[in-house]
Chain A
């Protein structure tokens, strides 16, 4: 069973700051997902990656397969980035995702 650990659990930042959220997992994976959950519940997929780095706007996701570690970076953070960020991993070619507990990010103006 894959264990997924996220850090930090809570993060407060000032608008404009560079944010990093970390995710570590214990077993080899086929893909890692970063998800965003706003207050109210809905979850949006930000990235799905299996190697290297992906960028979308101010968001950057990286993964190091050897170290079993991924990071989500937010540049020039904004109060609208305030949300819970969830890391999830998939092992093998099946539908099961193992989720981390999430990181609550609050960006103050």
Chain B
């Protein structure tokens, strides 16, 4: 238990569906991250929020839409996804977004059919 929770843990959705992934951190951190982990590839950074403002949008398609309503919660809204978007989506948090250690959640396993 790292203090970062993600829901749901597993999600199957069709290409026309709209769904959201949720991340919550209980560590008092002020920076949160979304990562994508595809099979046999390194983790890829998608988005970074610091003090609820987006500081990184790493060339992610617009079908992924992040939202950070406060420093404890982070959402990833999904719509019209493609099968190649099937992956493990990991949330992380840290205190500041410079040099401090990141704490990861358990991930959401997403399958797009």
Partner of B101, one of A48, A99, A102: A48
Q: How many residues of B contact A (CB 8 A)?
A: 27
Partner of B105, one of A42, A88, A100: A42
CB distance from A25 to the nearest CB of B (A): 12
A82–B55 Cα distance when bound, in Å, is 36
Q: A96-B45, A99-B43, A100-B42 are in contact. Are A42 and B104 (CB under 8 A)?
A: yes
B58-113 with Cβ < 8 A to chain A: 88, 90, 92, 94, 97-99, 101-107, 109
Q: Is B31 an interface position by the 8 A CB rule?
A: yes
Contact (Cβ within 8 A) B101 A33: yes
CB distance from A37 to the nearest CB of B (A): 9
Q: A31-B99, A90-B99, A93-B99 are in contact. Are A41 and B106 (CB under 8 A)?
A: yes
Residues of chain A lying within 8 A (CB to CB) of residue B40: 101
Contact (Cβ within 8 A) A95 B98: yes
CB distance from A87 to the nearest CB of B (A): 10
Q: Is A44 an interface position by the 8 A CB rule?
A: yes
